[in-house]
């Protein structure tokens, strides 16, 4: 599993490409995908095409592309699935990507469908983004509210 995270000075493309060749599952954001792909364009069809090129070029089984507040999309077992995400008041994005990835991998290990994987990952990522700090206390009631599209209004806790 590779979470790309291209951040200077940790963005050496030969090392990233070597890591991609070893990964079966890749998570990256749209900008990282475009950078790896080396082609311009942000349209959804181009993102899917870029994910397919990455999977083919490096032999990856799953390529998940996060899109911030717009959710995520995933190429998994050659099928393309998208999830719009869950609207929340952004308090702190730190930890949201890691929460997303942990939920995605957990759902994958449980054998869930691609749409269920993305739903679970987006839900946990949205929950963490709606709280201050990278590891907020678990709040099953708030997770249910976010999943229902009724995240608590007002300042985040």
pLDDT, one tens digit per residue, over 35-91 is 999 875 556 669 999 999 999 999 999 999 999 889 999 999 999 999 999 999 999
Pair (42, 5) in one structural domain: yes
Q: Are residues 78 and 150 in the same domain?
A: no
Range of the domain at 15: 1-84
Same domain assignment for residues 3 and 65: yes
Examine the domain organization and report whether 70 and 142 are in the same domain: no
Asked which of 54, 84, 114 is the last residue of a domain, the reply is 84
Tally of CA atoms within 13 A in the half-sphere of 67 that contains its CB: 17
pTM: 0.88
Whether residues 99 and 37 share a domain: the answer is no
For 2-29, what is each residue's pLDDT tens digit?
999 998 888 999 999 999 999 999 999 9
The number of folded domains in the chain is 2
Domain boundary among 84, 103, 128: 84
Instruction: Supply φ then ψ for residue 72, to 5 degrees.
Output: -155, 165
Q: Both tokens of residue 93?
A: 């994005």
Three-class SS of 83-143: ECCCCCCCCCCCCHHHHHHHHHHHHHHCCCCHHHHHHHHHHHHHHHHCCCCCCCCCCHHHH
Domain stops at, among 84, 105, 138 = 84
3-state secondary structure of 77: coil
Please tell me whether residues 75 and 142 are part of one structural domain.
Answer: no
């Amino acid at each position: 599993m590779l979470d790309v995270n291209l951040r200077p000075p940790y963005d050496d493309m030969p090392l990233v490409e070597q890591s991609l060749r070893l990964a079966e599952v890749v998570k990256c954001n749209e900008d990282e995908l475009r950078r790896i792909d080396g082609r311009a364009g942000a349209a959804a069809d181009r993102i899917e095409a870029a994910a397919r090129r990455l999977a083919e070029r490096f032999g990856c089984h799953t390529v998940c592309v996060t899109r911030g507040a717009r959710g995520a999309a995933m190429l998994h077992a050659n099928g393309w699935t998208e999830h719009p995400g869950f609207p929340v008041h952004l308090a702190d994005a730190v930890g949201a990507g890691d929460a997303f990835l942990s939920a995605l991998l957990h759902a994958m290990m449980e054998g869930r469908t691609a749409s269920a994987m993305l739903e679970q990952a987006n839900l946990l990522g949205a929950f963490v983004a709606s709280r201050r700090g990278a590891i907020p206390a678990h709040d099953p009631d708030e997770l249910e509210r976010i999943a229902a599209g009724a995240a608590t209004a007002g300042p985040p806790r």
